[in-house]
């Protein structure tokens, strides 16, 4: 409906896309955030103020996406939205690095908070220049906020941050390059507003022992991007608000990186800021500011180095050897190209069926859900695309999640022998998965910055508190799910008939779980 109501992002000289794309994704993110907050949280004054402010920023964003507002009206909307959590919810910056111990007076604290929230709102808005960029950077920051809120006992703030994270995660499914939808000003301003408000709540209310410099580290890349762009504009004698192509993502692209490489490099840079914030959260203000400066310098050096390497004249000289020729022969042998995919197509269905039989006990609620999904899958297999609204991929993924989780929490399957076999099995699957993507399915399955974001998330699980990891078997469950989900994705893309082994194995596994759970 975005085309009908003219919510379209048209290409121009400052943008990298070449065709009109709907920019209504921001409204979806707002709804995807507000609904779970209304369901899960009691509407105390801070939550209510956040929701009202988000509503105002969304209304002005929708208006801007539709009519391309004058910057004065846009700023007015941002200040109105920021004023609601500041004056109604008491979300105020009271302590600053090297500031007075008794806190800032109201005459300083309130204007400073308004400027901070509006500044971060515009920083995220300005950084939204590539597919998946603003959403991925904001997602990393919000996950850090939720983790720090949990550690500080701020369950309410944790839920708020996770709600926005979930909305972004769903949106990125359609915004990763090449994007089929944009978030527009509605989404980028909503994310910036949310980051500004939630970071203030984290360090000023939930855990005052945290250094206020964490605000800068958690929002590291948007702040660096905005500061560097405005500095360059002022140095050139232009208005700091004049449009150009001097943002960090433009510099990465001009250095010779492809679209997805530039986004991945920015994810990595933001990951450095987030990692420093989590690991050094109780260090002194001066040390954290120094760390922020070092990371900023490293990011700028990365851009310089990439440009120097990519733009260097000439290229590498290729020297072939007998060993290299033998490797090439093996690499393109049918067993090497087709074998990993055959292994996946056999191993994943077998895992589902054998795993559903090996689970010692199936809880009753799992049995009911398995029966529902088994019924839906059977209808989908019998009727095909006539019931297109029953998603085959979703049911297969749910089946995998059921089997992996039930196996992992079973105390009867935690022996050393079983664990060693499981480790070897998933290691083989992982190698076959990489080989299949590289040599067999490269034309149908391409890695995206969202995949890189997922890898960053997996690598960061070591920072999650031990009690959470152990209570939910988090690390083994997530690693196994990621491997099996990617395997299932490849198998489904290569599938020529809906009566293939993987859907049939999923149906069998769901049937087994349903019978065992109900009987």
Cα 49 to the center of its chain, rounded Å: 26
Residue 461 CA to residue 470 CA, distance in Å, equals 12
Q: What is the pLDDT of residue 323?
A: 45
Which of 6-10, 389-393, 475-479 bottoms out in mean pLDDT, i.e. has the lowest? 6-10
**Structure confidence by residue, pLDDT tens digits, 353-402:** 999 999 988 999 999 999 999 999 999 999 988 888 899 999 999 999 99
3-state secondary structure of 21: strand
Q: What is the pLDDT of residue 270?
A: 92
With cut-offs at 50, 70 and 90, classify the pLDDT of residue 164.
very high
**Structure confidence by residue, pLDDT tens digits, 138-159:** 999 999 999 999 988 899 999 9
Where do the structural domains in the chain lie, given as residue ranges?
17-309, 322-518
Residue 402 CA to residue 98 CA, distance in Å, equals 51
How many Cβ atoms are within 10 Å of 337's Cβ, its own excluded?
Answer: 15
Q: What is the pLDDT of residue 43?
A: 85
For the segment 265-271, the average pLDDT, to the nearest whole number, is: 89
**Res 422 pLDDT > 60:** yes
Q: C-alpha distances in angstroms, 216 versus 199, 281, 307, 400?
A: 9, 12, 27, 40
CB of 266 closer than 8 Å to CB of 224: no
With cut-offs at 50, 70 and 90, classify the pLDDT of residue 505.
very high
With cut-offs at 50, 70 and 90, classify the pLDDT of residue 410.
confident
φ, ψ of residue 362 to 5 degrees: the values are -110, 115
Share of the chain above pLDDT 90, in %: 44
CB of 380 closer than 8 Å to CB of 392: yes
Cα 436 to the center of its chain, rounded Å: 25
Residue 225 CA to residue 238 CA, distance in Å, equals 17
And the tokens for 337?
């190209």
Half-sphere exposure of 226 (CA within 13 A, CB side): 20
Give the pTM. 0.74
Cα 61 to the center of its chain, rounded Å: 22
Which residues are paired to 21 by β-bridges?
9
Q: Higher pLDDT residue, 437 or 84?
A: 84
Which of 26-30, 203-207, 281-285, 436-440 bottoms out in mean pLDDT, i.e. has the lowest? 436-440
**Res 316 pLDDT > 60:** no
Q: What is the pLDDT of residue 321?
A: 47
CB of 185 closer than 8 Å to CB of 61: yes
Residue 141 CA to residue 144 CA, distance in Å, equals 5
- Sequence-distant (6+) residues with CB within 8 A of 195 are 120, 124, 138, 141, 142, 145, 218, 219, 222
- Sequence-distant (6+) residues with CB within 8 A of 364 are 517, 518
And the tokens for 283?
């260090």
CB of 167 closer than 8 Å to CB of 29: yes
3-state secondary structure of 187: helix
Cis peptide before 332 (omega within 30 of 0): no
Q: What is the pLDDT of residue 194?
A: 96
Q: According to the per-residue pLDDT averaged within each range, which of 92-96, 104-108, 195-199 is highest?
A: 195-199
Q: C-alpha distances in angstroms, 247 versus 229, 230, 244?
A: 6, 10, 8
| Secondary structure, 3-state, 348-378 | HHHHHHHHHHHCCCCCHHHHHHHHHHHHHHH
Share of the chain above pLDDT 70, in %: 88
Q: Which of 147, 277, 162 lies closest to 212 in space, CA to CA? A: 277
Q: Compute the residue count for the chain.
A: 519
Which residues are paired to 8 by β-bridges?
22
With cut-offs at 50, 70 and 90, classify the pLDDT of residue 311.
low
With cut-offs at 50, 70 and 90, classify the pLDDT of residue 331.
low
Residue 123 CA to residue 15 CA, distance in Å, equals 17
Residue 399 CA to residue 504 CA, distance in Å, equals 11
CB of 61 closer than 8 Å to CB of 23: no
Q: What is the pLDDT of residue 332?
A: 61
Q: What is the pLDDT of residue 446?
A: 66
- Sequence-distant (6+) residues with CB within 8 A of 164 are 29, 33, 138, 142, 191, 194, 198
CB of 89 closer than 8 Å to CB of 49: yes
Cα 132 to the center of its chain, rounded Å: 9
Cis peptide before 178 (omega within 30 of 0): yes
Q: Which of 154, 300, 142, 289 lies closest to 228 in space, CA to CA? A: 300
Q: What is the pLDDT of residue 328?
A: 58
With cut-offs at 50, 70 and 90, classify the pLDDT of residue 317.
very low
With cut-offs at 50, 70 and 90, classify the pLDDT of residue 102.
confident
Per DSSP, helices labelled H in 41-132 are 45-67, 71-83, 106-127
């Amino acid at each position: 409906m975005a085309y009908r109501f003219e919510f379209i992002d048209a290409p121009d000289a400052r943008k990298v896309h070449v065709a009109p794309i709907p920019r209504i994704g921001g409204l979806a993110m707002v709804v995807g955030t507000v609904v779970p907050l209304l369901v899960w949280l009691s509407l105390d004054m801070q939550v209510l103020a956040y929701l009202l402010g988000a509503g105002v920023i969304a209304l002005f964003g929708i208006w801007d996406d539709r009519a391309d507002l004058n910057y004065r009206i846009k700023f007015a909307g941002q200040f109105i939205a920021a004023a609601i959590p500041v004056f109604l919810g008491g979300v105020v910056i009271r302590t600053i690095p090297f500031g007075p111990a008794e806190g800032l007076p109201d005459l300083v604290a309130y204007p400073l908070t308004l400027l901070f929230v509006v500044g971060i709102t515009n920083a995220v808005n300005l950084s939204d220049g590539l597919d998946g960029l603003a959403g991925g950077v904001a997602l990393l920051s919000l996950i850090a906020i939720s983790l720090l809120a949990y550690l500080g006992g701020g369950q309410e703030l944790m839920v708020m941050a996770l709600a926005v994270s979930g909305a972004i995660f769903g949106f990125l499914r359609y915004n990763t390059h090449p994007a089929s939808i944009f978030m527009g000003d509605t989404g980028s301003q909503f994310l910036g507003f949310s980051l500004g408000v939630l970071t203030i709540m984290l360090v000023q209310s939930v855990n005052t022992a945290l250094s206020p410099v964490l605000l800068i580290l958690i929002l590291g890349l948007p702040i660096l991007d905005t500061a560097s762009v405005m500095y360059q504009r002022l140095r050139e004698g232009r208005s700091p608000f004049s449009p150009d192509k001097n943002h960090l993502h433009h510099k990465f692209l001009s250095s010779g990186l492809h679209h997805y490489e530039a986004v991945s490099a920015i994810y990595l840079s933001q990951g450095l800021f987030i990692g420093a914030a989590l690991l050094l959260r109780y260090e002194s203000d001066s040390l954290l500011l120094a760390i922020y400066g070092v990371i900023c310098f490293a990011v700028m050096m990365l851009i310089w180095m990439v440009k120097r390497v990519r733009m260097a004249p000439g290229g590498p000289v290729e020297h072939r050897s007998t060993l290299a020729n033998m490797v090439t022969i093996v690499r393109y042998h049918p067993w090497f190209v087709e074998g990993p995919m055959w292994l996946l197509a056999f191993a994943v269905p077998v895992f589902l069926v054998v795993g559903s039989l090996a689970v010692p006990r199936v809880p009753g609620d799992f049995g009911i859900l398995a029966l529902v999904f088994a019924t839906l899958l059977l209808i989908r297999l019998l009727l095909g695309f006539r019931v297109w609204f029953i998603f085959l991929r979703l049911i297969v993924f749910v089946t995998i999640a059921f089997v992996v989780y039930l196996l992992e929490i079973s105390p009867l399957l935690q022996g050393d022998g079983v664990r060693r076999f499981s480790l070897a099995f998933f290691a083989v699957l992982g190698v076959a998965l990489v080989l299949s993507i590289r040599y067999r399915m490269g034309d149908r399955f391409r890695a995206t910055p969202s995949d890189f974001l997922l890898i960053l998330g997996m690598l960061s699980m070591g920072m999650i508190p031990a009690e959470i990891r152990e209570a939910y078997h988090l690390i083994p469950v997530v690693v196994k799910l990621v491997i099996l989900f990617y395997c299932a994705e490849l198998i489904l893309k290569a599938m020529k008939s809906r009566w293939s082994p993987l859907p049939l194995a999923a149906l069998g596994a769901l049937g087994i779980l349903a019978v065992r759970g109900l009987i």
